[in-house]
Structure 1
Amino acid sequence: MALSKVDSIAIGGFDGMHIGHQQLFEQLGEKGAIVVIETGYANLTPGSEREHYSHYPIVYYSLDDIRHLEGAEFVAMLKERFPHLNKIVVGYDFHFGKNRRYSHSNLGELFSGEVKVVDQVSIDNDSVHSHKIRTKIQIGDITGANRFLGHNYCVKGSVIKGQGIGKTDLVPTINLECPGFLLPYEGVYAALTRIDDEEHFHPSVVFVGHRVTTDGSYAIESHILGETIESCERASISFVKFLRKNEKFDSLDSLKQAIENDITTAKRELRHLSL
């Protein structure tokens, strides 16, 4: 859809595209669009990753490029970009303009169309915010993070060479480098892994952290359950359940036994999913 035809927009940072954000998107019509103000802090859905969680077109503005605008100038910028704009949707805590001095009430005064303000979204009396999701991911509460997101937390990256002992001494893994994404708490996870452009996910055990038993380097490793992936260039990991913390083992045999236990646990955690 051409942006010139857009008649409603939702404005925000929208890192994570979580269930609170989705409430804003539900207020858009058929000719809606999403306006993302990039602050430089997005690491749940960095860059264009947001586009996987909505069918609406997304327009990006860098905060550094517009932070000097007064309120009327900000609204004029939007009207120039979207000439048929008649509805703006924002969250209850939305602020804009120079020094963030303008709120949704000012927006209603400056914009001639409808301004829809969406109230705070909570789960069990706990308000949903991107910073809370980040905290949950960093402490290993991936279940809580996914509940706030409304989807599994996912990281993507390029496949890189591992330390070389997985296939020979432990289990074969895909090793990833995922720049730009917030990486979860160090440990082992039941997860789903997508290879290159495949449509389906593979049940997996994923390790994130320092290889304290072997070379000490930081790694993101996915073992595909019941399969050996011979070659791939990219992969994405969808985290389902935290299994255990990162541990140092006395030997490779002990580490391999722990991995086998992880595989058994992951199979149990993932068996209810239809892939």
Structure 2
Amino acid sequence: MNIFSDIDEIKFDKNTVLTLGTFDGIHSGHQEIISRVIDCSEKENLRNLVITFHPHPRKVINPELNLKLLTTSDEQIKIFEQLGVKNLLIINFTKEFSQLTPEKFIKDFLVDKIGIRKIVIGYDHHFGKSRGGDVEFLISSGKKYDFGVIQIPPFLIDNEPVSSTKIRAAIENGQIDKANRMLGRTYSFSGIVIEGDKRGRELGYPTANIKLNDTDKLLPQIGIYAVMVELNGMNYKALLSIGKRPTFYNDGAVIPEVYIYDFNNDIYGQNIKVSVIQKLRGEEKFNSAEELIKQMNLDKENGLKVLNQIKKLTN
């Protein structure tokens, strides 16, 4: 896959089918759009191109929201390539860029610099200054500049349209099953294993504390989860704890840490990927270490029941 960070790097080619958007999560609806782009490019011998933005536009326009992301830039690149995208343009999104009118963006970028034969968009797509560009505008522009517009209808899961906002809310509420169905794969995050206070080891449950590779990445709701972890190319069953460890600390920071079943290797400094399968329970404060250990034994048993039902991971 060719990756471009500047539009001037792209050779002009009128025979191009493209789509554009933030694609946070690259969920089932996004995948439907990408699939149509690739299908169109293969059937009509067109160059396929995906245009996306970094940072996420909402983080630039409304930085006070502290938006957390479903996919990091590195994750997006990997998923786009897996889906068959041949050309990816990542536009540096700035406040200045956000002021481009839909007319100027279409004419100056898509028509004159990149070249466009067809554009594929989602049912609710908007772009340009104040999100003034929509499907009607694209259709009229297509008639003016000789390109076609393909609009993809909403992708429904459980009779509701899939969206990044809904997936984000599901993850924040611990509804991992719903989030994974909408994503079309298991939600995951990655980070480096760092040293902790070794409290888990003292309790008989050695855990690996994780420092996220990207602090903008969304972590699931505080609680205990059944997960799979990927380490050095191998997959392992594990439990994930996201929380403040209230049994031992009053105002601790929120820490993600994993207990890997039947594993006791030194993995400090190594990168680990955590795929979140199912929430087991919320975080609790126990009156003693003994009560906590009793619950952890139960979590280990319950987590194994969930993980033993997994036939394969889809990501």
TM over 0.5: yes
* Aligned equivalent of 2:121: 90
Cα shift at 1:80: 4.5
* Aligned equivalent of 1:54: 80
Instruction: Tell me which amino acid in the other structure corresponds to 2:307.
Output: L
Residue correspondence of structure 1 range 176-255 to structure 2 within 5 A: 176-178=210-212, 179-195=215-231, 198-216=232-250, 217=252, 218-232=254-268, 233-255=270-292
Cα shift at 1:79: 3.4
Closer, same or farther: CA 66–185 of 1 in aligned 2, 3 Å: same
Contact 1:170–1:252, Cα closer than 8 Å, also in 2: no
* Aligned equivalent of 1:64: 95
Cα shift at 1:53: 2.0
- Say whether 1:44 aligns with 2:88: no
Cα shift at 1:150: 0.5
Closer, same or farther: CA 16–125 of 1 in aligned 2, 3 Å: same
Output the TM-score relative to the length of structure 2.
0.81
Cα shift at 1:124: 2.4
Tell me, in whole angstroms, the C-alpha distance in 2 between the residues paired with 1:199 and 1:65.
42
Closer, same or farther: CA 212–263 of 1 in aligned 2, 3 Å: same
* Aligned equivalent of 1:77: 109
Deviates more, 1:166-175 or 1:10-19: 166-175
Contact 1:15–1:42, Cα closer than 8 Å, also in 2: no
Output the TM-score relative to the length of structure 1.
0.92
* Aligned equivalent of 2:64: none
- Say whether 1:20 aligns with 2:46: no
Which structure shows the bigger proportion of residues in helix conformation? Answer: 2
Tell me, in whole angstroms, the C-alpha distance in 2 between the residues paired with 1:15 and 1:96.
15
* Aligned equivalent of 1:168: 202
Question: Which segments of 5 or more consecutive residues in structure 1 lack a partner in the other structure?
Answer: none
Q: Count the aligned residue pairs.
A: 272
SS of the aligned residue for 1:44 comes to coil
Indicate the RMSD between aligned Cα atoms, in angstroms: 1.9
Question: Which segments of 5 or more consecutive residues in structure 2 lack a partner in the other structure?
Answer: 3-9, 60-66
Cα shift at 1:138: 0.9
